[in-house]
Amino acid sequence: MTSTRRLAPLLAPSLLAADFANLQFEIERLAGSAADWLHCDIMDGRFVPNISFGVPVLQAIGRHAKQPLDVHLMIEEPQNYLSAVRDAGATNITVHYEACPHLHRVIQQIKALGCRAGVALNPHTPVWLLEDIAADLDLVCVMSVNPGFGGQAFIPNTLRKVAALKELLVDSGSSALIEIDGGVSLDNAAALVEAGADVLVAGNFVFGSPDPVATLADLRAHLSESELLEDESEESLNA
């Protein structure tokens, strides 16, 4: 009996780790790479203790990007900026559960703008809090580091959290993608996909390397090899 192969995970390099002085170059060299989305972190210095960039820079990114823009709003009152973010070129808009007391309303606003609607969960936020809204979501971003700064170490408990989230989504009949943001590398990518991750965000791992395009290719090859080995193992067990 042959096992069913999972869809290959999407790779979303995080521009927060790119060279901001050469942002056009960084974006253009990813055009033909293994990157499926470009992840854009917008921070306000209130929800997280850092400021990254805002809508004008996002507009500039959108003018040069070939991949869809996956915009992660690490900000207070994100509902006030949804239209501007969409107009700047966002395909996906993700807001934080912790920043939205009226989360259902915000999700519906994002959908009405024609964007994929996502919710991000901080490391301390349990997945069961999404139970009543899971069916409305297109994306759930699991923070595998504390939001606000790049280069942090991956939180191991994320693997258990992803598995629990996958179970919740299946039980809810939700087709939402599970995205992992923070500390993703060759050391944990395959395990995250095995736990249920659909999208891997990688910042320093990609842009801190000598050749980001080659690093993304290596990550893609590593995941493909892991899936192949898993399929061969399952086929041998089911023969």
Residues recognised as catalytic = 41, 181
Measured distance CA(112)–CA(173) in Å, rounded: 21
Q: How far apart are CA 93 and CA 91, in angstroms?
A: 7
The strand ranges marked E within 25-143 are 38-43, 69-74, 90-96, 116-121, 139-143
β-strand 69-74 against 38-43: which pairing, if any? parallel
Rg of the chain on CA atoms, in Å? 17
Asked if residue 213 lies in contact with residue 24, where contact means CB atoms within 8 angstroms, the answer is no
Enter the tokens of residue 225: 């090899």
C-alpha–C-alpha distance, residues 55 and 57, integer Å: 5
Counted residue by residue, the chain has a size of: 239
